Amino acid sequence: MKIIALIPARQGSKSVKDKNIKIYKNKPLIYHTIKIAKKSKYISRVIVSTDSKKYRNLSLKYGAEVPFLRPKNISTDKSLDYEWINHAVEFLKDKENYLPDVILHLRPTTPNREVTVVDKAIKSFLKNYNTITSMRSVSLFSQPPQKFLQIKKGFLVGFFNKYLKYDYTNYPRQFYPATYLPNGYIDILKPSFFLKNKNLHGNKILPFITKETLDIDLKKDFDKKNYD
């Protein structure tokens, strides 16, 4: 099977300027994701999707491919993952007559991956290939969403109160089933599925459970070195 890694790295981060190349553990952030992807025994190509020539040059330096620059209209903070992933796949199809069987979506903002864990996820994905539409890594979340609150007209209210007779936000946590949060460690996709259905993950998403991992979003996160 043709297995590739796609790494998104647009330049327009609002939370931290040039976040994807900001120094983390003495290297640009994107370096850590490229390094792990290149170490995998399953991944044959590591491709960065970026709208920046500067990011492209850095990615090439660390051994990734950058066969195109991503269009600006799908490089905004509101652009969907489907848009840039579909763009990359369509480019490979049109320009190289190349269609991967499996795509690993690896975000630079999750830099503390281990190659053994990545390869374990790929192995599990391949084992279940014919019965799933995708895989997402998740970690156990400490609280159920039923206990979340929002502010409306200056007052705290639950998200689902209007559907229930009692205030479910006061129920014990143990009352609810375990909740899992997508954590960005690894998503694995099937181009044959999402090209046909225009939906990245589908409804048969295989869970891959990892421990909680650092997801860099704010400037202070760069001071954290390992798992939370």
What are residue 95's phi and psi, to 5 degrees? -90, -25
What confidence category does residue 164 fall into, taking pLDDT thresholds of 50, 70 and 90? low
Cβ–Cβ < 8 Å for 132, 205: yes
Residue 47 has a pLDDT of 98
CATH number at residue 78: 3.90.550.10
In a domain, 157, yes or no: no
Q: For the chain, what percent of residues have pLDDT higher than 70? A: 94
Side chain identity at residue 48, one-letter code:
V
Strand partners, 3: 102
**Cβ contacts of residue 31 below 8 Å, gap of 6+?**
58, 62
pTM for the complete prediction?
0.90
Counting the structural domains of the chain, the total is 1
What confidence category does residue 148 fall into, taking pLDDT thresholds of 50, 70 and 90? confident
Q: Is the pLDDT of residue 153 over 80?
A: yes
Q: Is the pLDDT of residue 127 over 60?
A: yes
What confidence category does residue 147 fall into, taking pLDDT thresholds of 50, 70 and 90? confident
In a domain, 89, yes or no: yes
For 50-78, how does the pLDDT look when each residue is reduced to its tens digit (9 = 90+)? 999 999 999 999 999 999 999 999 999 88
Range of the domain at 115: 3-141+179-223
Residue 227 has a pLDDT of 46
What confidence category does residue 214 fall into, taking pLDDT thresholds of 50, 70 and 90? confident
How far is the first Cα of the chain from the last one, in angstroms, to the nearest whole number? 35
Classify residue 26 by its DSSP letter: T
